[in-house]
Chains A and B, each alone.
Chain A
């Protein structure tokens, strides 16, 4: 069974750096085709894709946020970490991590398994 779980602070101050951890099980991020992405959703608003890391340690970022984001993985711990610098109240959102597999799998190129999300509020 594939599961993902996000963890991190519920409250951060403006200008601080946010660090979120996605801990997953049921698959390995060292297996060809496996990827993990971060997606966020401000309260009452739409989903926004943030970043993706793949099995080969290639990293991809939202063009509008790339200067503030860093994604990394620890394969031995089955974890993916997202850092976002210079947090602002507009970054208040639920942050999700999700698995996505590239071509070669029956179900690929879609976010097939999601974590339950972690709500982050940016406020002084």
Chain B
């Protein structure tokens, strides 16, 4: 069982927006602004999409945005495109004992 809780799956039609939640505790998501999100296509390595809760690395489309409220972080993808269909994982720093924790992953289907 993963430390962070994500919905198993979400879906949306091209052009729509979807939001993926990532729920942790005050010891991880709620305690630090070191939440990141990763996109993983089948058979590929994860790719960083969001870091520090809401920052985008260079080259990531601005359709991807992140936010946090309390112990829950969220990834929103607007203007869905077919190539957005993938698994998405959240990750949070969890302090000097646990260090890093991942979510269970969410499969995004573009209908």
Q: Is B64 an interface residue (CB 8 A)?
A: no
Chain A residues bordering chain B, tally (CB within 8 A): 21
- Which residues of A are found within 8 Å of B57, using beta-carbon distances? 107, 112
B101 at the interface (CB under 8 A from A): yes
A114 touches which one: B34, B36, B47 (CB < 8 A)? B47
Are the C-beta atoms of A48 and B102 separated by less than 8 Å?
yes
Q: Does B24 contact A (CB under 8 A)?
A: no
Residues of chain A contacted by B48 (CB below 8 angstroms): 110-112
Mark A residues whose CB is within 8 Å of B.
37, 39, 46-49, 52, 60, 62-63, 96, 107-112, 114-117
Between A and B, 28 residue pairs with Cβ closer than 8 Å are A46-B2, A46-B102, A47-B46, A47-B89, A47-B102, A47-B105, A49-B91, A52-B99, A52-B100, A60-B99, A107-B51, A107-B55, A107-B57, A108-B51, A108-B52, A109-B51, A109-B93, A110-B48, A110-B52, A111-B36, A111-B91, A112-B48, A112-B51, A112-B57, A114-B45, A114-B46, A116-B44, A116-B45
